[in-house]
Every structure is written in C-alpha cells, then in structure tokens.
Amino acid sequence: MELELSDEQQVFLDATRRLLAAECPPSAVRALEHHPDGFDAGTWERGAGLGWTSLLVPEADGGGALSRHGLSDLVLVAEEFGRTVAPGPLLPVNVVADALARRGTDAQRGQVLPGLLSGSAVAAWCGRHPVAGRRDGDGLVLSGTCSPVEAADRADHLLVGVAHDGGTSQVLVPAGTAGVTVTPMAGLDLVRRFAEVRFDEVRVPADGVVGEPGAASADVERALQVACVLQCAEMVGVMDHVLSMTIEYLGDRWSFGRPLASYQALKHRVADDRVVLETCHAIATGAARAVAAEQDDAAELTSAAKAWIGPRATELVQDCVQLHGGIGVTWEHDLHLYLRRATTGRATHGTPQEHADRIAALLLDERAAPAGAAA
C-alpha cells in the first residue's frame, strides 16, 4: 500500500473496511467453509458496487479508477482481503476484466463486463500456461488441462491462453461449452475454491478470440503480473494483521507477573518480524507501481515480489503461531485461517522457486540480447 493516499482512495478504503468488518468477520468466513461457492453472493455484489471489480476497466465500459492507475487502487482492496481473509473471487474477476477491457471486442466487453462489474457474474482465468490448440477455420480447437483454477466451478466465462502455430492466443470460453469439464479440487483455504478445467476438443469460434490471434504472449504475461501483484498485496495484508494480533496478545498475556511483551527474547523476534513485514510492504508496492505503469522491468519486479514475499509470509505467520503458544495451534483460534491464506498465495500462480527461475531467465535474456543483435 502507498504511504500517502488521495482523499478518494481513503474514502474508498474506509468503505471497503466497513463492509468487510460488517459482513466478513472470521465467524462468517468459518461459516462459509462448506458453501459451494465459498462466498456470499450478496456481499460480493455489494463489494462490486463499491468498485472492487471496476477499477481496471475504463469509464467508457462502466468502470473507472480513483487514481492515475486503477491497479494502485485495487491493491488496497487486495490487502484488506488479506487482513480479513475475506471470501470472494477478487483476483480472477479482475484479471479477466482487465484483459477484456484492454483487448476485448465491443461484443465481448458488452456481453461479459456488465455482469462482472455488477458482481452478478464471475469469470475465471485459466492460468499462465497455455493449453494446446489448433486452427479450425477462423476459430480454434482447444485440448489440455488447466489446474488449479480459482473460481472455475462458479465461473460463467473462462479466459484461456492457447498455444498454436508457434504463437499464443487468448480466448473467452463460456463455461457450458461442449467439451469443458470442471472438476472441483480440495483446497487448504476455507473459502477459496479451485478446480481442474479440462478441454476436450473444445471449439472456439473466431468471435471468442480476445485480441490478435497468435500474438497474445504479452497479454498472458500482463494477466500473470496483475494476478501476482494482487496476490502479493493480499499476503502482505495477512502478515500485517497477524503481526498486529500477536503484538496485542503479547501485551495482554502475562507470565510470572509480567506481560510476555516485556521479555527481551520475544521483543527481538517481533522486531525481526516487523523488519520482514516492511520489506514485503516495499517490494509489493514497487511491483504494483511497475505493473500499473507498464514499466519495462515489471515482469522482473513482479517475480521478485512473489519470490520474496511468498516464503516470508508463511514464515512470519508460523512464528506468530509459536509466539501465541498452545492457543495458536487450535482450531478455535483464527491464526490458522491466515496461515491457510498465506500458504495458498505462496503456492499458486508460480511458487517462489519458479519465480526466482523466471528472474534468472529474464536477466539471462537481457544479457544475451546485445550479443545476438551484434551478430
């Protein structure tokens, strides 16, 4: 999160916090554990009414940002989702809305965006690894599997990357299309729903292609960057809230006639955790700025954020669990809700190791480019 917010951003953030506090307390999150969707449709629509799904969409299509870059506004919501382990398909809906707003045809935008912006419809993004495809006249035929896909079993449309003829396309597939099989998967997070999506000779007509056929590699990369930025902001929100919970607990819990917060060894651990948290705040903000401004180093900074924040989020929450003592490992305490969210964020859309490998590949490509140009 930026250190200084505009008046409009502050009002938006305050409204988001009030809605989440009123409708998504930990008790409500626990109550949704066995809900098929993992979120309450009414709450999601009220959040959409605040702007949760419209910040990456231009005003001409019914959206609108609060600042110069809508992504800078959206990460405010993502961080609050982390602080409250809130339910709802924030990430996939916004990734798809952004892709359609940037590359969709008038018909695609008119068909899909109104439902996403109102919260009455859900869309899912089928990952960063394109499925195999082949041309079929003016359209494409898809074969392959995407997994795990968030909100796929609730989605009305799927945004899918397709590798074919040496290039990459993005296509919009209605969830009920023949040959599409969505299989729900077990998940660690109580309210995040993931599924495996299988495409068996799925035919997509030409009007289902989003953007220029065969030239969507940059669009798939953009979708990954937006997903990772939102994910990193959410993990930072988890870390921030859990550390605050722990500091409050250490002040309230007494041992041998003094609060736990007075013990030097515990002070040092909390101080170390605070340093880690602030570094994660900084790198998450840097990545969000880079993606929002479409900087040349956005891919590198996004992967650096994911590689850095992922392991530190789970380590910090685990340390806070230990600082709580026995109560921290019980089902009744809320800490495990946050550990589940952080662990899920660490593992999806690329593990820390995969993003570290991506950074290495990007840097090697940069070093090789001048030599190739000279040759």
Domain limits, the chain: 7-118, 123-213, 218-370
Superfamily name and number for 123-213: Butyryl-CoA Dehydrogenase, subunit A, domain 2 (2.40.110.10)
Cis peptide before 148 (omega within 30 of 0): yes
Report how far apart, in Å, the C-alpha atoms of 85 and of each of 17, 28, 242 are.
12, 10, 11
Tell me the C-alpha distance between 118 and 57, whole Å.
Answer: 12
Percent of the chain scored above 90 by pLDDT? 93
Report the distance separating Cα 150 and Cα 126, nearest Å: 8
Strands 139-150, 194-204: parallel, antiparallel or unpaired by DSSP?
Answer: antiparallel
Reduced to 3 states (helix: H, G, I; strand: E, B; else coil), residue 35 is coil
- Rounded to the nearest integer, the mean pLDDT of the chain is 95
Residue 371: pLDDT band by 50, 70, 90 thresholds? very low
Question: In CATH, which superfamily holds the domain spanning 7-118?
Answer: Acyl-CoA dehydrogenase/oxidase, N-terminal domain (1.10.540.10)
* Tokens coding 43: 């709450």
pLDDT, tens digit, 9 for 90 and up, residues 299-351: 999 999 999 999 999 999 999 999 999 999 999 999 999 999 999 999 999 99
* Cα separation, 99 vs 184, whole angstroms: 25
Q: What is the CATH number of domain 218-370?
A: 1.20.140.10
CA distance linking residue 31 with residue 22, whole number of Å: 14
| pLDDT higher than 60, residue 223 | yes
Burial of 58 (0-12, 13-18, 19+ CB in 10 A): middle
pTM strictly above 0.85: yes
Which of 3-17, 293-307, 355-369 is the least confident region? Answer: 355-369
With contact defined as beta carbons under 8 Å apart, do 195 and 182 qualify? yes
Residue owning tokens 């307390």: 25
